[in-house]
């Protein structure tokens, strides 16, 4: 019974239905629906026609019976029956055509709304600051683009049409039934509460079961997403927990199975109850209606019409009893979408933004003050899947920083972990905006520049350069969409990946895997450098780009970096002595301030914080370089390194 299934879904949603929605939600919905208003009007008109046809058919069926039992001239009766049958056939054809047309309009409106909403959310999310993505759970955000957008779309194409159709069917069916036999109609209505009230209780029970199943399914989905990723699978294998993971997953799956069985049984009880009540109502109609027909109070065809109209009465009444639930549920889907759209991007482009002038780009930070935004500025509790947002954040982490990097020169940032080096570097490409002071490129505040100009001028290589699960060609063209295959190969050779490319059977069409995990760490890093070379930025930021590489990979990456930095303004967060020595100037960052600056020799002679860092972090490396330069054998070098390292 399809109608029973629809009603069961409606009452089940009652368990989760909200009590109210935010003021202004309906107006915002209309803003999205307005481009489709003509199609929407046509769709609603077709819905009215379909509902009207649904009531007219039983009326004609009753007249057919009356014509049959009326007696009289056979030819006239036959002509009447044939005419009425033709009318019923015409209504059936009309209903089919209207149904197809209505479905076409519904699909065009619905799919159009889905595209508009998804595009709006995706474009908006792309403008959110990095802090938004560090806090938000990816699955929750994807759900807004999928489940909530589709739920919002149903408010227009399903809920609205269903409410209108049910109201029209109910009014017409009730009017016709009362006109034909008010006694029968009244008796049939008395049975309605016997069905509706238990149905709502069953709906709450099914709603609870479905909510529990949804939570378990979400938990399984999160477990699969985390454990099936390359890092997650590696962690499971390294710590030897596959059996426990499988048992945990299996337990959740079994609970979902048990809930599914209970849900199926409760649903079946509902359908059985509906069938029973419907059969009892039919019996009442045939009993009382038949009695009235036999006693001559109504015609025989009226009994048939009443019986057929009974389904047109019960189904709309039950559906409309839950109409508020359906409407509110759909509105909440819109509300959840608007909740994301209402998060204000912290990085915006001014209307009068300008481009960067040509030539080398000097970088200057003037009295820069900065604190990471609090959760309430960049996130939602529902997207983090927590009850209350974290109240931490907002404290100032950079305190009046002044730094100047001349065009074409390199400045190295050194300091202890958490000193603020990466924070400083993130302000130059405008991943965040300063709270005080200014970051300037070529003497222009980055907030006055076009976002595209900043992105085109500043290139960044981090210690974990991200790659998409795509081909080498696609990953490199992400930085330069117009790059030719020859330019891509040239960039790969300059990044010291020529031999790797020659060894790959699929060449540029080789898929690198999720996050590039089909490549080694050094190969991934050099691929990100090749991407940087293709982009040709005038300012390069290296955020500990070789921090987690072995010595052989690091040597190859360093050679590629030398190629990438040639002739460019560079800010390097360094942990290798060789990189620091190559810098034109070194800035020592501690507790959000630059406490020292100068060349390697100048800072060592000053015997301050840099000299302390050098003794604790770089002395062993310097001694190893000295031993390597002496040309000793492997054993001698190792012993010399150990001695120098221990002395340092």
Tens of pLDDT along 76-96? 878 888 888 899 999 999 989
| Mean pLDDT confidence for 37-56 | 87
Measure the CA dihedral 48/53/58/64, to 10°. Answer: 150
Q: How many CA atoms lie within 13 A of 84 on its CB side?
A: 19
Rounded to an integer, what distance in angstroms lies between the CA atom of residue 459 and that of residue 449?
A: 16
Mean pLDDT across 143-163 = 75
- The residue with greater pLDDT, 519 or 413, is 413
Residue 548: DSSP 8-state: T
Cα–Cα distance between 302 and 284 in angstroms, integer? 14
Say which range, 89-93, 339-343, 419-423, 469-473, has the weakest mean pLDDT.
339-343
> What is the arithmetic mean of pLDDT over 161-172?
82
On the question of pLDDT at 626 being above 70, the answer is no
Is 316 a residue whose pLDDT tops 50?
yes
Top pLDDT among 440 and 273 is at 440
Pairing of strands 436-441, 444-445: antiparallel
Q: Mean pLDDT throughout 192-208?
A: 65
Q: Are 560 and 492 in contact (CB under 8 A)?
A: no
pLDDT reading at 311 higher than 80: no
- Higher per-residue confidence, 648 vs 301: 301
Identify the CA nearest to 231 among candidates 561, 480, 409, 464: 464
DSSP letters spanning 167-188: HHHHHHHHHHHHHHHHHHHHHH
pLDDT value at position 201?
66
Burial class (CB in 10 A: 0-12, 13-18, 19+), 480: middle
Average pLDDT over residues 512-537: 83
pLDDT of residue 2: 45
Written in H, E and C, the secondary structure of 421-484 is HHHHHHHCCCCCCCCEEEEEECCEEHHHECHHHHHHHEEEEECCCCCCCCEHHHHHHCCCCCCC
620 has pLDDT over 60: no
Distance, in Å, from the CA atom of 310 to the CA atom of 284, rounded to the nearest integer, reads 11
The average pLDDT across 543-556 equals 65
Highest-scoring range by mean pLDDT, 18-27, 313-322, 508-517, 553-562: 508-517
Per-residue confidence (pLDDT) for residue 1, from 0 to 100? 44
pLDDT for the residue 374: 76
Please choose, from the candidates 289, 314, 311, the residue with its C-alpha nearest in 3D space to the C-alpha of residue 65: 289
pLDDT at residue 643 tops 80: no
Query: Average pLDDT for residues 232-258, to the nearest whole number?
Result: 78
Please give the share of the chain, as a percent, with pLDDT higher than 90.
14
**Token output for 571:** 């800010």
Distance CA 195, CA 203 (A): 12
Is there a contact between 142 and 337 (Cβ–Cβ < 8 Å)? no
Q: What is the pLDDT of residue 325?
A: 63
**Assigned CATH class of 9-341:** mainly alpha
pLDDT above 50 for 382: yes
Is 173 or 544 the better-scoring residue by pLDDT? Answer: 173
Burial tier of 456 (Cβ tally within 10 Å: 0-12, 13-18, 19+) = middle
pLDDT tens sequence across 416-439:
888 899 899 999 999 889 999 999
Residue the block writes with tokens 């595009």 = 119
524: which residues sit within 8 A by CB, 6+ positions away?
465, 467, 512, 516
Q: Is pLDDT at 640 greater than 50 in this prediction?
A: no
| d(C-alpha 169, C-alpha 91), whole Å | 15
> What per-residue confidence (pLDDT) applies to 445?
94
Q: What pLDDT score does 100 carry?
A: 92
Q: Output the pLDDT for position 368.
A: 94
**275 membership: H or E segment, kind and range:** helix 242-294
Confidence (pLDDT) at 450: 93
Sheet holding 569-573, edge to edge: 458-462, 539-543, 569-573, 410-414, 585-590, 593-598
Lowest mean pLDDT among 230-244, 516-530, 586-600: 230-244
Q: Which of 183-197, 489-503, 532-546 has the lowest mean pLDDT?
A: 183-197
Mean pLDDT over 400-405 rounds to 93
Across all residues in the chain, what is the average pLDDT? Answer: 79
First to last CA, the chain: 83
Contact predicate 321/178, CB 8 Å: no
**What is the DSSP-derived secondary structure letter of residue 34?**
G
CA distance 4 to 277: 12
Confidence class for position 369, pLDDT limits 50, 70, 90? very high
Q: Residue 192: pLDDT above 80?
A: no
Cα gap 289→282, rounded to integer Å? 10
Residue 4's pLDDT is 47
Q: Which long-range contacts (CB under 8 A, 24 or more apart) does 389-393 make?
A: 390/135
Most confident of 114-128, 208-222, 273-287, 374-388: 114-128
> Average pLDDT in the 465-483 region?
87
Q: In the CATH hierarchy, which top-level class contains the domain 363-606? A: alpha beta
pLDDT score, position 293: 82
Hey, which of 62-76, 113-127, 507-521 has the most confident mean pLDDT? 113-127
Q: Domain spans of the chain? A: 9-341, 363-606, 607-648
The predicted structure's pLDDT at residue 590: 92
* pLDDT recorded at residue 94: 93
- Is residue 635 pLDDT above 50, yes or no? no
The pLDDT of residue 283 is 83
């Amino acid at each position: 019974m399809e109608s029973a299934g629809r009603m069961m879904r409606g009452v089940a949603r009652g368990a989760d239905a909200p009590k109210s929605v935010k003021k202004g939600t309906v107006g915002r919905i209309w803003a999205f629906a307005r481009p489709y208003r003509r199609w929407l009007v046509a769709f609603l008109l077709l819905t009215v026609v379909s509902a009207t046809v649904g009531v007219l058919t039983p009326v004609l069926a009753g007249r057919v019976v009356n014509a049959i039992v009326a007696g009289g001239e056979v030819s006239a009766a036959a002509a009447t029956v044939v005419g009425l049958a033709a009318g019923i056939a015409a209504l059936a054809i009309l209903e089919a055509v209207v149904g197809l047309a209505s479905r076409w309009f519904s699909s065009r409106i619905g799919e159009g709304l889905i595209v508009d909403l998804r595009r709006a959310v995706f474009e908006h999310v792309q403008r959110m600051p990095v802090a938004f993505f560090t806090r938000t759970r990816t699955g929750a955000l994807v759900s807004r683009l999928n489940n909530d957008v589709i739920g919002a779309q149903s408010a227009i194409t399903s809920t609205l049409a269903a409410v209108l159709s049910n109201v029209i069917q109910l009014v017409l069916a009730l009017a016709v039934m009362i006109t034909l036999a008010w006694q029968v109609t009244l008796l049939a209505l008395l049975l309605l509460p016997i069905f509706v009230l238990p149905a709502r209780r069953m709906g709450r029970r099914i709603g609870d079961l479905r909510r529990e199943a949804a939570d378990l399914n979400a938990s399984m989905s999160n477990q699969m997403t985390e454990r099936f990723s390359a890092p997650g699978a590696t962690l499971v294998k390294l710590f030897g927990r596959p059996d426990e993971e499988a048992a945990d997953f299996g337990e959740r799956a079994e609970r979902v199975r048990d809930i599914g069985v209970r849900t199926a049984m409760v649903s079946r009880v509902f359908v059985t109850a509906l069938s029973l009540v419907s059969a009892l109502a039919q019996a009442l109609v045939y009993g009382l209606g038949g009695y009235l027909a036999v006693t001559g109070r109504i015609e025989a065809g009226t009994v048939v019409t009443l019986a057929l109209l009974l389904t047109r009465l019960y189904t709309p009444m039950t559906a409309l009893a839950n109409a508020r639930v359906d409407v509110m549920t759909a509105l909440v889907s819109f509300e959840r979408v608007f909740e994301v759209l209402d998060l204000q991007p912290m990085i915006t482009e001014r209307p009068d933004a300008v481009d960067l002038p040509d030539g080398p780009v000097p970088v200057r930070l003037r009295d820069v003050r900065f604190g990471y935004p609090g959760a309430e500025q960049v996130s939602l509790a529902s997207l983090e899947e927590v009850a209350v947002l974290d109240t931490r954040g907002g404290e100032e982490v950079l305190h009046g920083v002044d730094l100047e990097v001349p065009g074409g020169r390199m400045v190295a940032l050194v300091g202890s972990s958490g000193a603020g080096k990466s924070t400083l570097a993130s302000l130059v490409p405008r991943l965040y905006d300063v709270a005080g002071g200014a970051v300037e490129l070529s003497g222009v505040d980055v907030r006055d520049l076009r976002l595209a100009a900043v992105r085109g001028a500043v290139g960044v290589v981090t210690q974990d350069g991200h790659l998409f699960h795509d081909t080498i060609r696609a990953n490199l063209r992400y930085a330069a969409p117009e790059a030719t295959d020859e330019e891509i190969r040239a960039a790969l050779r300059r990044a010291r990946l020529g031999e790797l490319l020659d060894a790959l059977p699929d060449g540029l069409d080789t898929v690198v895997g999720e996050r590039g995990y089909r490549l080694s760490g050094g190969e991934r890093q050099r691929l990100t450098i090749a991407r940087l070379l293709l982009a040709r930025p005038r300012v390069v930021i290296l955020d500990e780009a070789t921090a987690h590489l072995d010595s052989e990979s690091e040597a190859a990456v360093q050679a590629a970096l030398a190629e990438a930095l040639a002739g460019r303004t560079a800010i390097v967060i360094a942990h290798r002595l060789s990189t620091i020595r190559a810098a034109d100037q070194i800035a020592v960052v501690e507790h959000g301030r630059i406490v020292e600056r100068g060349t390697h020799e100048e800072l060592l002679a000053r015997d301050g914080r840099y000299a302390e860092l050098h003794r604790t972090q770089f002395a062993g490396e310097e001694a190893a370089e000295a031993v390597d330069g002496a040309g000793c054998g492997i054993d001698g070098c190792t012993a010399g390194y150990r001695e120098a390292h221990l002395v340092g």
